[in-house]
Structure 1
Amino acid sequence: MPADEQLALTAAQALDAMRSGRLSAEAYMTTLIARAQSQSALNALIVLDADAALAAARAIDTQRAAGAALPPLAGLPILVKDNINTAGLPTTGGTSALRDVRPAANAPSLQRLIDAGAIVLGKANLHELAFGITSTNLTSFAGAVKNPYDTSRIPGGSSGGTAAAIAARIAPAGLGTDTGGSTRVPAALCGIAGLRPSVGNGGAQRRYDDAGAVVPISHTRDTIGPMARTVADLALLDAAITGRAVAAPIGLQGLRIGIPASFWTGLDTQVAAVMIAGRSRLAAAGVVFVEVDLSGLFDLNDQVSFQVALHEPIADIPAYLAATGVSGITLADIAAGVASPDVKGAFGAILADAFGAAYPDAMQVHRPAMQALYAAYFSDHALDAAMFPTTVLPAVAIDQVNGSSTVSINGGPAVDEFGAYIRNTDPGSNAGIPGLSLFAGMTADGLPVGLELDGPLGSDQKLLAIGMAIEAVLGSAPAPAL
């Protein structure tokens, strides 16, 4: 199989080609390693583990030739965001203080993918310590991740390295993490798909259990999430992680999708045009759109978001260091080593515990109110999901000075870049419900636009099924011209 055909394969297609004998795992891995090396200027990867990945691929080929029964993801190359514990490789969190941290064990979700036959190709770059949405990492060893569709622009974050690499055909799939939008925002800006699984109140409500195995922001909000070029590929990874059946597409005819008006306001005109066109095509395919807003949600979100995300690291980061066996590094050491100005500002608020007094009400009053509002929204209106633009604007220029600063939407006044990009993804994160971003279309400037589906707590399987059906109507993003 020619290299260009290999690069175009989705995860499902690559697995089928390897199972059928049309492609060996070693040949496929060799092609992807060459692609990673040729596209190193994207800064999508912190580590390319070429030798180990090739050895693992050869072992798969040997087992297949011997007629061994192989697991479902045998030979599938994946990338892992560099805040997810990976045995044998550093887990840096994209920050200097953690550069030499080498966990003894893989995060549980990653281990399940490896047990299913996936091979770690490398560790992906990220916004420093995952505290941002641009992936403009200003540490000396990481650098700003670039969007493959326009290398002067951000890929989104904080899982920007995973998203950029998947879009650039360096790997077909991988893992990111999501606290306020960190799988979904880069998925949207890079034209791929990203899942934030259910978290709820933790425990049995949490779809993926990786406590203590990811450099944390917030135990209430953090989760690993799969990323790939298609929703069908997300379903493959999700099934391997959860041990459940692979989700299958659902019929669109009669599906009831809520349209919350407040999520559709203030959009960049090109984002709006793509979303309206996509909505029209889905209506023609039988989707019933229900115009009903989530009134008061953003006000509640303002009482939860920073109050949780900038208080919980005070305990969660030291707990992670202890669980990972890291000694001699403190929260203050990590803060002192931060290189990105936007992240340094966040850590100033953390060390001062600026939101400590507001944290109890955020958790005991406002967050439960958000969860109740979402539950009533879906049940009272018999909705299968809610739909809206993942981000209010497409990718903007990289800020190499601050990491992120301000943006203007449609020539309007400057607004906070971080707040603008997480506006639509953050509420679902705080409520703990599942969210899925998939490709909606391209702007006139050739930039991807993402469509998000949020569903009731625990509806991940159905959300993936709906996403696959929508993807069949709207299609996938064209390959970037690199």
Structure 2
Amino acid sequence: MTWTVDEQLALSATEAVAAIQSGRLKAADYMATLLARAAALSSLNALTTLELDGALAAARRIDALPAAEKARLPLAGLPIVVKDNINTAGLQTSAGTPALEGFAPATNAPSVQRLIDAGAIILGKANMHELAFGITSTNFATHAGPVRNPYDPTLIPGGSSGGTAAAIAARMAPAGLGTDTGGSTRIPAALTGIAGFRPSVGNGGAERRYHDPDAVVPISHTRDTVGPMARTVADIALLDGVITGAGALPAIALRGLRIGLPAPLWEGLERRVNDVVSAALRRLETEGVVFVPVAMSELEDLSDMVGGPLAIHEARDDVLAWLVANHAPVRTVAELAARIASPDVRAIYDDILDDVLGSRYDAALNQWRPRLQQYIAATFADERLDALLFPTTRLAAVPIDDLRGSSTVSIDGSPPIDTMEAFLRNTDPASTSGIPGLSLAAGMTADGLPVGLELDGPLGEDRRLLAIGLAFEQLLGVLPPPAL
């Protein structure tokens, strides 16, 4: 069978693997098509490293396997992109910051290794907001640059996993890995029209779904996680299953699902976002989904008491631990911080080095987070909810800020608010409480920008949440590709 370029670019991860396993598509041909696509769209700054020779060689090895062996690889020949803060053996892991440019760890992060063992091939490393401390992916490092949204290159793709999202949305790769501390897989997924998943983390210990110790340039060991990103929820489920060893998704019918609508996360939406998500709700309701308004009046305040103190206080020790464990070219956080290129990230690292929220850390960890977790768990139980649903972000993509990387935004003419605060409001509660969250495409605004809906589930119910997301996506559909 002869595949056109457009046919190859349209393949989802699941479809591509099936075609390669069956021998209908050569892995090397597919990889060459995507590498050429990535090179042609380099102006999007989605990738910091393109693995030309190595990726093609790996694809040829997949093609040379006996048919039976190839069929046993659940990701046979699948090209993926990996965020540049996730360890990859022999490939740059710079976290988008100058002090780590060109640094390559000795080993892969466990989540990456499981994908490779299943047949996946790293096509390149994905650009990001410097050191993952931001939601725009406007990076000022000369080796990185600002990631651009494929639907409008003058706009942000979201962050901090903006490069992974932009590469997937632009059809450079069908899937990849990002990381998520406060919304970094879900925000860019929403703004670029793909799906992004934050798996369960709990308190960062035994409840953590993905285990990648000292294998990701960190922010917070109790909040950080690797998360899969792809154009479809089915592809998210495929990668999640490989990373965790989980079986097939449970069967889910839309009719009778009880989905909570947290009032605070539906307030203050941009009008064009509200139009899209309201239309999606009407379609879901027509198919029998039961929407349950829930007040959750304490949600934002509780989440705010947890988020900042954990991230700002934990970052200094956690980054130092990664530098030492991985024999990085700089050995202190101060050395790393001295070379930060992005003004917004430099200001955050000043706070980290001064430990400005250290006095609030113990209360955040031992008082406010348990209270938040109990509050959310009680809402699920008392209202008999299958999931919570809300717009992933309260506004669509905004223009790139070439001066600071992130400053302020105005929603429909309202007084300006901090950009990061505006985009994190809805994604942060899942992060601070440790529950799983999935962003999927809700539709597009009248002017052609993607809008996302987020589903949050009870702790540990990741596969059921993905099954609900898949049922939603089968009704709402996936978005058309950007015109590039």
Q: TM class by shorter-chain length?
A: over 0.9
CA distance in 2, matches of 1:221, 1:179: 5
- The one-character-per-residue Cα deviations of 1:273-330 (angstroms, maximum 9, x if unpaired) are 1011000000011101011121211111121111111110111011111211225431
SS at match of 1:357: helix
Distance change in 2, residues 1:167/1:328 (3 Å): closer
List aligned pairs for 1:335-354, cutoff 5 A: 335-354=337-356
CA contact (8 A) 1:70 1:117 kept: no
- The one-character-per-residue Cα deviations of 1:167-207 (angstroms, maximum 9, x if unpaired) are 00000000000000000000000000000000001232100
CA contact (8 A) 1:137 1:143 kept: yes
Q: Which among 304, 315, 318 is matched to residue 316 of structure 1?
A: 318
CA distance in 2, matches of 1:389, 1:44: 25
- The one-character-per-residue Cα deviations of 1:313-358 (angstroms, maximum 9, x if unpaired) are 1110111112112254310011111111100110010011000011
For the pair 1:134 / 2:110, whether they are aligned, the reply is no
Moved runs in structure 1, 4+ residues, more than 4 A? 65-69
Q: Which residue of 1 aligns with 2:227?
A: 225
CA distance in 1, matches of 2:262, 2:115: 35
CA distance in 2, matches of 1:186, 1:249: 28
Report the alpha carbon displacement of residue 65 of structure 1 after superposing the two structures with TM.
Answer: 5.4
CA contact (8 A) 1:194 1:437 kept: yes
Q: Which residue of 2 aligns with 1:159?
A: 161
Q: Which residue of 2 aligns with 1:428?
A: 430
Q: Which among 41, 44, 50 is matched to residue 43 of structure 2?
A: 41
Q: Which among 287, 292, 295 is matched to residue 293 of structure 1?
A: 295
Report the alpha carbon displacement of residue 21 of structure 1 after superposing the two structures with TM.
Answer: 2.0
SS at match of 1:123: strand
Moved more, 16-25 or 61-70: 61-70
CA distance in 1, matches of 2:229, 2:68: 32
CA distance in 2, matches of 1:475, 1:360: 44
Distance change in 2, residues 1:248/1:151 (3 Å): farther
Q: How many residues align?
A: 482
SS at match of 2:400: coil
Q: Which residue of 1 aligns with 2:177?
A: 175
Q: Which residue of 1 aligns with 2:442?
A: 440
CA contact (8 A) 1:238 1:246 kept: no
Report the alpha carbon displacement of residue 4 of structure 1 after superposing the two structures with TM.
Answer: 0.5
- The one-character-per-residue Cα deviations of 1:345-400 (angstroms, maximum 9, x if unpaired) are 10010011000011010111111110000100101110000000000000000001
Amino acid at match of 2:30: Y
SS at match of 1:146: coil
CA distance in 2, matches of 1:459, 1:448: 27
CA distance in 1, matches of 2:66, 2:432: 45
CA contact (8 A) 2:99 2:330 kept: no
CA contact (8 A) 1:44 1:146 kept: yes
- Counting aligned pairs with the same residue, the percent is 63
CA distance in 1, matches of 2:277, 2:460: 26
RMSD of Structure 2 on Structure 1 (CA): 1.0
Q: Which residue of 2 aligns with 1:272?
A: 274
CA distance in 1, matches of 2:162, 2:236: 17
SS at match of 2:137: coil
CA distance in 1, matches of 2:285, 2:43: 41
Report the alpha carbon displacement of residue 70 of structure 1 after superposing the two structures with TM.
Answer: 3.6
SS at match of 1:311: helix
Amino acid at match of 1:344: R
Distance change in 2, residues 1:340/1:22 (3 Å): same
CA distance in 1, matches of 2:329, 2:190: 38
Q: Which residue of 1 aligns with 2:96?
A: 94
Amino acid at match of 2:364: A
TM-score by length of structure 1 reads: 0.99
Report the alpha carbon displacement of residue 18 of structure 1 after superposing the two structures with TM.
Answer: 1.2
Amino acid at match of 2:122: V
CA distance in 1, matches of 2:396, 2:364: 31
Distance change in 2, residues 1:477/1:248 (3 Å): farther
Q: Which residue of 1 aligns with 2:455?
A: 453
For the pair 1:206 / 2:208, whether they are aligned, the reply is yes
CA distance in 2, matches of 1:71, 1:19: 8
SS at match of 2:65: helix
SS at match of 1:310: helix
SS at match of 1:72: coil
Moved more, 207-216 or 286-295: 286-295
CA distance in 2, matches of 1:443, 1:107: 37
Distance change in 2, residues 1:274/1:357 (3 Å): same
CA distance in 2, matches of 1:389, 1:341: 29
CA contact (8 A) 1:252 1:286 kept: yes
CA contact (8 A) 1:97 1:329 kept: no
Q: Give 5+ residue unaligned stretches, structure 2.
A: none
Q: Which residue of 2 aligns with 1:475?
A: 477
For the pair 1:412 / 2:384, whether they are aligned, the reply is no
CA distance in 1, matches of 2:389, 2:403: 35
Q: Which residue of 2 aligns with 1:372?
A: 374
